């Protein structure tokens, strides 16, 4: 027998705090940073979860199209609608945090970069790290990827230099639109991939300050690398295990041994 | 009727213009059931859950420790969050949600709310199309409308829902807690039609529900096309309206698309 859903409020369960969201264009070190953060004693990450982006978009659509109707006829305030979606999303992370004995989840998502305002609205206490990188290097790196769409066709921006450059520029441009208010509110930190690789200790110190945590170690651990790199769509190569250093900047991409 | 079913929301669906609003105000008049205006999130949230349960479930279970049952509860709670304030404010022990296209996700709703009663309102496709064309023409604002083509389109929507109906009726688990009600029977023999429905819901038929039109309640013409119609007592004049509303070409288009299923449902194809 299934439990009764009932009209009573569900038992109050403690939700984890709003997540840290690491985002940026593909090939900017998003997974690398999530992997570093996963090794932190207070933070845990996991594979990219596209359903989270779908939930954020669905909440925005319901809020925009039906929010007034829900307030008027159902007594569901806009804040309550947001809180319902926020709680649902956080409940997805809670077991992973419990299992790891950690308290704060790190979302890593490329698509969050183009939905920064929606993510920020749904998670009002979230902190964002926007990874940046030289656009030419992003395009070069994309051209070395072997990503395919759902039909198995190579993605255009991994086969065409102009498409790769456009993708890099568009990602950055869309994300940039939402960054001023977040940065002004102290909720967003820019982190350049180049800075992470050339002076990882300084980058981690700044990141620790921003997150209010002890600085993460600038070293990729095997367990974190395996977990974070898992993808439900494209087969990412595993992250290189070991210290982050400037060699990552010039290292030719080897599908079996890559730092980003 | 067990306690679990009583504790779960009742979902009502049907092709638009099938009488779902009439059924909603009847249920809302019952002293133990609240059924407000269309929430319009059931389809989206159920589809969202189905997506999470389908493509994301292996990853969620393995890497995140979210079991299928835990995932179901997360999304059931999400949907209930939209129902709960009105449910609690009504002071009634049960809630029903009527949005016509709920019917499109009845199979998924069966999994998301295993004990919820699902009520499908069915109406003669010809009357459905006649009513929808009237709305379509009003929306066109006097611009010319290709009646037969539009009639065929609306009839296809009806047959799409009938395909879901076949799927439900052909599956024992899906058919559990599923109940069909005919619009024509509802307006011609309301008591005889409603008594089995309330029995299915585990409630006693209360004759007062037929006084639904005397109850002041929130209805909004912009959100419910039948808001005005349900301020009157049950009437039968909309049964067979297609005879005076549809042109011969429109009627032929409807029968071409949906004639076989119309006969299977027992509607005379005169």
Q: What are phi and psi of B108, to 5 degrees?
A: -75, -35
pLDDT at B226: 67
Q: Is A226 on the interface with B (CB under 8 A)?
A: no
Residue B209 is given by DSSP the state: G
pLDDT at A152: 83
In the stretch 5-64 of chain B, residues with CB closer than 8 A to chain A read 6-9, 36-37, 39-41, 44-45, 48, 51-52, 55-56, 59-60, 63-64
pLDDT at A2: 46
Q: Is A78 on the interface with B (CB under 8 A)?
A: no
* pLDDT (mean) for B190-202: 95
B7/B67: higher pLDDT: B67
Copy the structure tokens of residue B194.
């409603």
Considering Cα of A51, then A53, then A54, then A58, what sign does the dihedral take? positive
pLDDT at A182: 95
In the stretch 39-68 of chain A, residues with CB closer than 8 A to chain B read 46-47, 49-51, 54-55, 58, 61-62, 66
pLDDT at A158: 84
CB atoms B40 and A74 under 8 Å: no
pLDDT at A255: 46
CB atoms A230 and B4 under 8 Å: no
- Closest residue in B to A100 (Cα) is B64
* pLDDT (mean) for B196-217: 89
By Cβ distance, the residue of B65, B74, B89 closest to A99 is B65
By Cβ distance, the residue of B3, B52, B81 closest to A4 is B3
Confidence of residue B175 (pLDDT cuts 50, 70, 90): very high
- Closest residue in A to B223 (Cα) is A69
pLDDT at A172: 84
Q: Is B218 on the interface with A (CB under 8 A)?
A: yes
pLDDT at B57: 86
CB pairs under 8 A between A and B: 124
Task: Give me the interface pTM, i.e. the ipTM.
Answer: 0.89
Contact B180, B170 (CB under 8 A): no
Q: What is the pLDDT of residues B64-83, one digit of tens each?
A: 999 999 999 999 999 999 99
Q: What is the mean pLDDT of chain B?
A: 90
Q: What is the pLDDT of residues B52-64, one digit of tens each?
A: 988 788 889 999 9
Task: Tell me which residue of B35, B34, B70, B28 sits closest to B49, measured CA to CA.
Answer: B70
Confidence of residue B213 (pLDDT cuts 50, 70, 90): confident
By Cβ distance, the residue of B74, B81, B95 closest to A92 is B74
By Cβ distance, the residue of B4, B52, B78 closest to A85 is B78
Task: Tell me which residue of B159, B179, B173, B180 sits closest to B258, measured CA to CA.
Answer: B159
In the stretch 226-245 of chain B, residues with CB closer than 8 A to chain A read none
Confidence of residue B2 (pLDDT cuts 50, 70, 90): low
- Closest residue in A to B42 (Cα) is A62
Copy the structure tokens of residue A180.
């001023």
Reading chain A (260 residues) residue by residue, the pLDDT tens digits are: 444 456 666 655 689 999 999 999 988 999 999 999 999 999 999 998 989 999 999 999 999 999 988 998 889 999 999 999 999 999 999 999 999 999 999 999 989 999 999 999 999 999 999 999 988 888 888 888 878 877 888 888 888 888 888 888 888 888 888 899 999 999 999 999 999 999 999 999 999 999 999 999 999 999 888 888 777 666 666 788 888 888 766 555 444 434 34
pLDDT at A97: 96
B148/A3: higher pLDDT: B148
């Amino acid at each position: 027998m299934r439990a009764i859903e009932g009209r009573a409020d569900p038992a109050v369960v403690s939700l984890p705090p709003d997540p840290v969201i690491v985002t940026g264009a593909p090939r900017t070190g998003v997974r690398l940073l999530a992997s570093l953060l996963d090794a932190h004693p207070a933070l845990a990450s996991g594979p990219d979860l596209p359903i989270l982006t779908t939930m954020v978009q669905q909440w925005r659509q319901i809020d925009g199209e039906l929010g007034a109707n829900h307030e008027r006829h159902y007594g569901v305030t806009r804040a309550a609608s947001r809180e319902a979606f926020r709680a649902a999303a956080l409940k997805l992370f809670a077991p992973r945090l419990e299992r790891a004995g950690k308290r704060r989840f790190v979302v890593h998502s490329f698509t969050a970069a183009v939905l920064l305002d929606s993510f920020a609205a749904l998670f009002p206490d979230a902190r964002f790290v926007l990874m940046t990188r030289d656009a030419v290097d992003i395009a070069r790196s994309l051209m070395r990827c072997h990503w395919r769409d759902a039909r198995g066709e190579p993605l255009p921006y991994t086969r065409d230099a102009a498409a790769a450059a456009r993708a890099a520029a568009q990602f950055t441009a869309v994300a940039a639109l939402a960054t001023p208010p977040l940065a002004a509110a102290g909720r967003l930190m820019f982190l350049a991939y180049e800075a992470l690789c050339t002076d990882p200790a300084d980058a981690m110190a700044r990141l620790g300050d921003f997150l209010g945590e002890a600085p993460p170690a600038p070293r990729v651990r095997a367990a974190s690398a395996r977990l974070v790199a898992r993808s439900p769509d494209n087969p990412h190569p595993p992250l290189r295990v070991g210290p982050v250093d400037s060699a990552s900047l010039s290292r030719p991409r080897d599908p079996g041994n890559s730092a980003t | 009727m067990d306690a679990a079913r009583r504790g779960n929301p009742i979902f009502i669906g049907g092709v638009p213009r099938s009488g779902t609003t009439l059924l909603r105000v009847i249920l809302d008049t019952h002293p133990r059931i609240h059924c407000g205006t269309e929430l319009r999130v059931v389809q989206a949230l159920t589809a969202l859950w189905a997506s999470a349960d389908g493509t994301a479930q292996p990853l969620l279970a393995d890497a995140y420790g979210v079991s299928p049952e835990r995932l179901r509860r997360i999304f059931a709670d999400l949907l209930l969050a939209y129902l709960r304030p009105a449910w609690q404010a009504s002071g009634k022990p049960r809630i029903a949600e009527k949005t016509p296209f709920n019917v499109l996700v009845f199979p998924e709703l069966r999994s998301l709310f295993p004990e919820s009663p699902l009520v499908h309102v069915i109406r003669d496709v010809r009357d459905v199309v006649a009513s929808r064309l009237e709305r379509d023409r009003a929306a066109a604002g006097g611009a010319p409308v290709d009646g037969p083509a539009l009639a065929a389109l609306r009839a296809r929507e009806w047959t799409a829902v009938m395909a879901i109906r076949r799927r439900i009726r052909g599956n024992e688990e899906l058919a559990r807690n599923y109940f069909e009600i005919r619009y024509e029977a509802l307006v011609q023999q309301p008591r005889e039609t409603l008594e089995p429905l309330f029995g299915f819901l585990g409630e006693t038929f209360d004759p007062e529900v037929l006084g639904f039109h005397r109850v002041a309640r929130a209805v909004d013409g912009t959100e419910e096309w039948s808001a005005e119609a349900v301020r009157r007592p049950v009437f039968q004049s909309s049964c067979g309206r297609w005879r005076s509303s549809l042109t011969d070409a429109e009627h032929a288009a409807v029968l071409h698309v949906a004639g076989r299923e119309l006969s299977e449902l027992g509607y005379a194809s005169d």
